[in-house]
Structures are given as structure tokens and as C-alpha cells.
Amino acid sequence: MMRTRPIVFLASVSILLLALIILPKPSLLFIAYSLTLIYTLWGVYHIIIITYGLKRPFNPGVNPRRHSKISLILPARDEPILSRTIDVCLNHIEYPRDSKEIVIVTEDPVGERIATWYSQLYPRNVKPLVRRAYFATKPSALNDSLSLCTGEIIGIIDVEDIPEHDTFLKVASAIENYNIESVQVILRISNQEDNWITKMFSMEYAGWFRVMLNGRSKLGLYTPLGGTGNYFKASLIREIGRWDPLNLAEDAEVAIRFYLSKRRTIVIDARHWEEAPTNFKAWLRQRTRWFRGWIQSLIKYLIMLSVPSVTRRIGFINTLSIIFMLIAPLIVVLNWVAYSMTIYWSLEYLGIVPFKLTVDLFPWWVILPLSFNVIYYYTWIAGAILEKIGTAKTLVKYIPHMIYYMNFMMPLAALRAFYQEIFKEVFWEKTKHLGKGVKWAILEKQE
């Protein structure tokens, strides 16, 4: 399969170029109509989601019918702040200690020493799993650690995370009191003031988790899990076959299988605070990994979702909700095409440059694809306001940063992800976390 992808890619590009050379106007018109249709559907769909996402997330309360045992999986590789996260989860998050279990899966000597020390200090609560021979992806580590989990609820916590003090109580309440099988908390960025990249990341997260995922959850649509802050019944993850060890966005992929088995993921009014990458290189590596995972999932499930029996079973709109999520890397790349069409149309309309190729070709509505980008900016600002990151007055000044972030950085990461998926074997580009900014988050939120 891997060997055929470059051939298929090069053949597809050759056909496209040949069509543009032989039939330039019909080809460009086809692209214009196709993009307009895709972006219009995309835009209307997300406007509906935003409308529901602005509502308050579901709050299950903090009084579970019973305190089910929670097994928290902490994947750790070269993480100097591992001890802090163990201590916080075990001693500073409200939940009976006897009902908390931490499984630390690690591969490096430092992680091994920290995990072993805590297992000796808390033998009833901490279990180390040191992998000697392993496939170096996070989902592979999660699969290995699942065999040590004895809790009825499984939680995934990244090492840089700080859950709010009542998160476990809310998770248990959602699962025990309301029989919800899969829960996603809202992820927040704690080092948002480090620089403009972390600020954009914090606004993007607020728009994504507080608005977009909350809206999907309320509408009963496919709601992808985040890489951390997701909790579900242990029986569910075992039933659907655990995580895909080769998928680089294992959270979104496993949520598809949850959804196909008719289990909804509910976003609840609880939060994890985590650290954003502080420079472009780290951001690019992380975002490339996420986008490639979505591309992997699109390739894996597109044929399955096009089968009529599958569409009938989960519903046409629900099928589209999965596809619209997974084509996000393609959409951000197509932004560049949409910009090009808009520039061509504007120059023709204003009579600045007389294009012979495109004269009288593009109608006025060619600007529609580009105009739907406003949805992103509105969502980020609305989410940031709801999450008290800032006010409309203080956040509007970041619109130039958002335009650069969305229309340069995101397409670059998407193109890099497509390149890797076509030409590279699966590998994990790890994001380093230094633990900056998370200390104040838990203190502030508990006051």
C-alpha cells in the first residue's frame, strides 16, 4: 500500500495538470463550482454547530452515585515533569484515593525511575509499565498499558496536563449518574501569554473545545476526542478493539469507532489545563502529526462510510459529520486555491489586469469559499470570550495573527502531513513539554 501511494499521487497530479493544459476554462470552472459547493456546505454546517456550541456545556454535577475506580493512563517519554503530574492527579484532584489508579507507561530511564519510585511510595495506586521492545507511538503505549488497568473508567492524561480539582467527580457523575459511556473535558492552554503562537493556540482551543466540540456533542454528531482529557468506560474501549497503533490521531480515530457502535461522546463542563508549543517548529511538528492522523482516518473509513448500509445505520447527517471532520486538512489547503480564485475574480472585476484565461469565467459568488473563513475567526474569538481569555475588544486585535495562523501555518502543516502520508512510513514526532505556565493554573482555578 505504501509503495503505491507515490504512484497514485503523481498520476493524479499529472491528470489534473493535463486537464488544465488541454481544457483550461472548463477545468477552472469545475474547480470554482466544486469549491463553492464544498465551502457552502462546510460553512452552513459549521454555523449550525456554532449556534449550539455557544450554549453552556453539560454539567453532570460533582456527586456521583458511586465512586467508580478510575484508571488514569499517563504515557511518558522524556518528560521531566512526570512527577508533578502524578502527584497532582493522586493528591490534589478531589476523588477517593482508593478509587484512583495511575498507570505510567514509559520507555526512557528517567521515566522508569520516576514511575518506579512512585509505585513504591503508593503501591496501591501507581503501576509502572516500562516498555523495552515497542512501537514508538502513543496509541501503541496506550494499548500496552490497558492490560494493567483495573478501573471501570479509563482516563487519558498527558504529562503536561493539570486537571481541575473536581474533574474526576464530574467524569464519574456523567458516567454513573447519566450512563454516558464516553466523556471529553474542555482543554485549556495555561501558557497562553508566552508569545503570540501560544495565544493563538489558546484561542483556537477555546473555539474548538468550548464551541465546536460542544456543538457537535449537543447535536449528537460525531465528536472527536482530544488527545487528553478523555474518559470512557473500560468495557467500551475493549469492546471496540482498543487503539489503532499506527494512527497518529488515535483520539479522533477511536472516537469514530465509538460513534459507529452508536456510543456518543459528550463534552462536559470540566477542564484540563495543558501547555502549548512555544515556537513554530514545535507547533508544526505537532500539527502535522494531528493532520496526518486525520488523513489516515479518512483513508481508512471513507470507503466504509460510503457503503449504503452503514450510512442508513448511523444516518446520512451523522456520516457527513465524520467526513467533514476528517477532511479538515484538505479544507485548509484549499484555502490557498480559494484565495487564488478570489484574487483572479477581483482583478478582473476591477479591470486591473485583463486575464485572457479567466475573463468572464468566474461568477461573483467565487468569493463565497473565502468568505466562510470568517467562521474560524468568529469561533476562536467567541470561544475565547466564553472561556474568559479576553474580551471582544482585547481579542479583535489578534485578527491579523489569526489570518496568518489559519492561512499560512495551517496549510503548511496540512501539506507536510499529506507529504508524509504519501512518502513516509508512520513515525511519531514528539512534542516536548517543559512544564511552563501550568503551576498557576490549578492554584487559580481552585481558589
Local mean pLDDT, 10-residue blocks, the chain (447 residues): 76 83 82 82 92 97 97 92 93 96 95 95 96 87 96 96 96 97 96 94 97 97 95 97 95 96 96 93 95 96 92 93 94 85 74 64 65 86 96 93 94 96 87 56 39
Query: What is the arrangement of strands in the sheet containing 162-163, beginning at the earlier edge strand?
Result: 126-130, 100-106, 70-76, 153-156, 230-233, 182-189, 265-274, 162-163
Domains and CATH numbers, the chain: 16-447 (3.90.550.10)
What span, in angstroms and rounded, lies between the C-alpha atoms of 412 and 407? Answer: 9
| pLDDT reported for residue 2 | 65
Residue closest to 295 by CA, chosen among 108, 173, 191, 421? 421
The enclosing H or E element of 304 equals: helix 280-305
Write down the residue that cell numbers 484512583 correspond to: 100
CB distance 186 to 225 below 8 Å:
no
Q: Is 98 helix (H, G, I), strand (E, B) or coil?
A: helix
pLDDT of residue 33: 80
Give the containing element (helix H, strand E) for 74.
Answer: strand 70-76
- The grid coordinates of residue 202 equal 489558546
Dist CA 3 CA 198 (whole Å): 38
Rounded CA gap, 322 and 420, in Å?
A: 23
User: What's the rounded Cα separation, in Å, for the pair 321 and 252?
Assistant: 12
* H-state helical runs in 229-279: 234-239, 250-260
Amino acid letter at 151?
Answer: G
CA distances from 345 to 22, 357, 371 (A): 22, 12, 14
Q: What is the pLDDT of residue 441?
A: 41
The most distant pair of C-alpha atoms in the chain lies apart, rounded to whole Å, by 77
Cβ neighbours of 45 (radius 10 Å): 16
CA distance 382 to 404: 19
Please give the pLDDT value at position 447.
36
List residues bridging with 182 in a β-sheet.
Answer: 232, 265
Residues 95, 70: Cα–Cα separation, whole Å: 9
